[in-house]
């Protein structure tokens, strides 16, 4: 069983200088009963090595971006080569053009694109652009979907589809929350009620086309088409938040899977190959609202920086090789099947949602198609499961809602080893 002595010591040091000891609250172990989070020393391929010398099979993949595994040689080479030529110019570069072309080739709805530095910025800006285009203020979003930490999207559901939201974070003014309506995912009736109630006040509908933030949840047949049709009939735009989903399930965006195209798309994570990045884009007539052509302002000292461009291009070059997503599908299915067999053999109340190389285990007997069902997944059982895994060599996110992400570097042996560890946890800890 692993010993985490050095991680615990470093957390005490961290708390003296970094608020809460972590630079993002999702890294703390608060949701699994507290304690010191693991401190990692190095990572390679699908593995992590912590400061106590323990090795882990990693399914966190840094919350999604690391789809080609850690320290991928092709990305490492692209970054080091670029850093020898300068890491930040504050001018235009050929790399930006090359990368934008590559993105548009994979996602044709990106008639024009802009690079920013995070998913938060990308989503925040699409909302501003939609407001500028429609001259309307309100947005509709879906319960349990996370869209970054800008004010407008840190708003929880009101008590019904025609109710305005309340701030989900201290420091978000009530006036901001008044512009947000939150409705359940996969529930077209509630969506319709909300849009009919607020009609020509709705600038945009913001949606994760395949949810990644209360586990992996696919849209039900016809849901996204109905969202598009109803929004467009109402003169509202549709924004897809593809920060998790772009290049996660296929070489391109979730639109290839769901068969519906939005007006604007926000991206991040994978497209930076592990470096800080965000991007947004879409229809030319809408994007023309952005400065310097239009009056909607968005800027960034680091936007389109050469390191992220080089890493992003290298990452997409790895992902566009034939068979990459087939292999993620094969290993994902193997992991899902193995887990389901263990769930059955050990009589665990649990079920799995999976798409290609991403899956979530919910400790509930109910199928999960919307947030309330995900919320009913048993947090105490998850906490025991999580702690059992990190004592034995598997690293996942300390959250019952988060997905396990496979990388191109995981092997059959990693899946076999993972199933052995999970079996030991089911047998001895749950």
d(CA 170, CA 175): 13
Q: Residue 220: which residues within 8 A CB-CB, separation 6 or more?
A: 186, 369
Convert residues 224-243 into a mask of x (bound to ligand PMP by CB under 6 A) and - (unbound).
-----------------x-x
Give the total of residues touching ligand PMP (CB under 6 A).
15
Among positions 119, 215, 252, 282, the unique one binding ligand PMP when judged by CB under 6 A? 119
Tell me: does residue 21 bind ligand PMP (CB under 6 A).
Answer: no
Residue with tokens 């001259």: 135
Q: Terminal CA-to-CA distance of the chain, rounded, Å? A: 16
49-68 positions binding ligand PMP, by CB under 6 A: 63
Strand arrangement, sheet containing 404-405:
351-355, 358-362, 404-405
> Any catalytic annotation for residue 168?
no
Shortest distance, CB of residue 84 to ligand PMP, whole angstroms? 27
Do residues 141 and 153 touch, judged by C-beta distance below 8 A?
A: yes
Convert residues 139-158 into a mask of x (bound to ligand PMP by CB under 6 A) and - (unbound).
-------xxx----------
Tell me: does residue 123 bind ligand PMP (CB under 6 A).
Answer: yes
Tell me: does residue 399 bind ligand PMP (CB under 6 A).
Answer: no
Among all residues, whose Cβ is closest to ligand PMP? 119
In DSSP notation, 254-287 reads: THHHH----SEEEEEGGGGTTSS-EEEEE-HHHH
> Any catalytic annotation for residue 47?
no
What are the start-end ranges of the E strands in 119-236?
138-142, 155-156, 166-167, 180-183, 202-207
Summary count for the chain: helices (H), strands (E):
14, 16
Tell me: does residue 208 bind ligand PMP (CB under 6 A).
Answer: yes
State the greatest distance between any 2 C-alpha atoms of the chain, in Å, as a whole number.
62
Shortest distance, CB of residue 289 to ligand PMP, whole angstroms? 21
269: phi > 0 → left, psi -120 to 50 → alpha, else beta; which? left
> Any catalytic annotation for residue 412?
no
Shortest distance, CB of residue 245 to ligand PMP, whole angstroms? 8
Facing residues of 280 across strands? 114, 266
Shortest distance, CB of residue 279 to ligand PMP, whole angstroms? 11
250-269 positions binding ligand PMP, by CB under 6 A: 268
Nearer to ligand PMP, 118 or 125 (CB): 118
Do residues 354 and 394 touch, judged by C-beta distance below 8 A?
A: no
Q: Is 250 helix (H, G, I), strand (E, B) or coil?
A: coil
319-348 positions binding ligand PMP, by CB under 6 A: none
Shortest distance, CB of residue 146 to ligand PMP, whole angstroms? 5
In DSSP notation, 6-46 reads: HHHHHHHHHHHHSGGG-SSGGGSSGGGT--PPP-EEEEEBT
Tell me: does residue 398 bind ligand PMP (CB under 6 A).
Answer: no
**Could you say which of 63, 146, 325, 401 is catalytic?**
146
Among positions 82, 120, 255, 377, the unique one binding ligand PMP when judged by CB under 6 A? 120
Tell me: does residue 410 bind ligand PMP (CB under 6 A).
Answer: no
Query: Segment near ligand PMP (CB under 6 A), from 46-54, 67-75, 205-213, 307-315?
Result: 205-213
**Could you say which of 50, 58, 241, 263 is catalytic?**
241
Do residues 107 and 316 touch, judged by C-beta distance below 8 A?
A: no
Binding site for ligand PMP (CB under 6 A): 63, 118-120, 123, 146-148, 208, 212-213, 241, 243-244, 268
Write out the catalytic residue numbers.
Answer: 146, 241, 269
């Amino acid at each position: 069983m692993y010993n985490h002595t050095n991680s615990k010591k470093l957390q005490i040091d961290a708390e003296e200088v970094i608020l809460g000891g972590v630079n993002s609250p999702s890294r703390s172990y608060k949701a699994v009963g507290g304690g010191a989070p693991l401190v990692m020393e190095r990572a390679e391929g699908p593995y992590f090595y912590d400061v106590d010398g323990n090795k882990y099979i990693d399914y966190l993949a840094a919350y999604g971006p690391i789809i080609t595994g850690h320290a991928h040689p092709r990305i490492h080479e692209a970054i080091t080569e670029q850093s020898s030529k300068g890491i930040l110019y504050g001018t235009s570069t050929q790399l930006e053009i090359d990368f934008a072309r590559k993105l548009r080739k994979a996602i044709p709805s990106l008639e024009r694109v802009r690079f920013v530095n995070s998913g938060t910025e990308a989503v925040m800006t699409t909302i501003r652009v939609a407001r500028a285009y429609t001259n309307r203020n309100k947005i509709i979003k879906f319960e349990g979907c996370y869209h970054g930490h800008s004010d407008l999207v840190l708003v929880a559901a009101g008590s019904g589809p025609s109710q305005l939201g309340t701030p989900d974070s201290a420091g978000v003014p009530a006036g901001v929350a008044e512009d947000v309506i939150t409705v359940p995912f996969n529930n077209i009736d509630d969506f319709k009620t909300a849009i009919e109630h607020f009609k020509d006040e709705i600038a945009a509908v913001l949606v994760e086309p395949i949810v990644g933030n209360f586990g992996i949840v696919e849209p039900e047949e016809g849901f996204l088409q109905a969202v598009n049709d109803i929004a467009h009939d109402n003169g509202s735009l549709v924004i897809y938040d593809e920060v998790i989903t772009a290049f996660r399930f296929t070489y391109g965006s979730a639109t290839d899977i769901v068969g519906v195209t939005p007006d604007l798309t926000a991206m991040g994570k994978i497209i930076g190959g592990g470096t800080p990045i965000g991007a947004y884009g879409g229809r030319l007539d809408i994007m023309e609202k952005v400065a310097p052509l239009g009056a909607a302002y968005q800027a960034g000292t680091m936007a389109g920086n050469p390191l992220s461009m080089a890493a992003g291009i290298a990452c997409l070059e790895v992902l566009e090789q034939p068979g990459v997503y087939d292999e993620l599908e094969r290993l994902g299915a193997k992991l899902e099947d193995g887990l389901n067999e263990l769930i059955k053999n050990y009589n665990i109340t649990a079920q799995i949602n999976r798409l290609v190389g991403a899956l979530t285990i919910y400790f509930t007997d109910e199928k999960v198609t919307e947030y309330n069902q995900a919320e009913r997944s048993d947090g105490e059982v998850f906490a025991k499961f999580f702690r059992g895994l990190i004592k034995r060599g598997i690293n996942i996110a300390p959250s019952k809602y988060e997905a396990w992400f496979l990388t191109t570097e995981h092997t059959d042996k990693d899946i076999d080893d993972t199933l052995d560890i999970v079996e030991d946890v089911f047998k001895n800890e749950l």
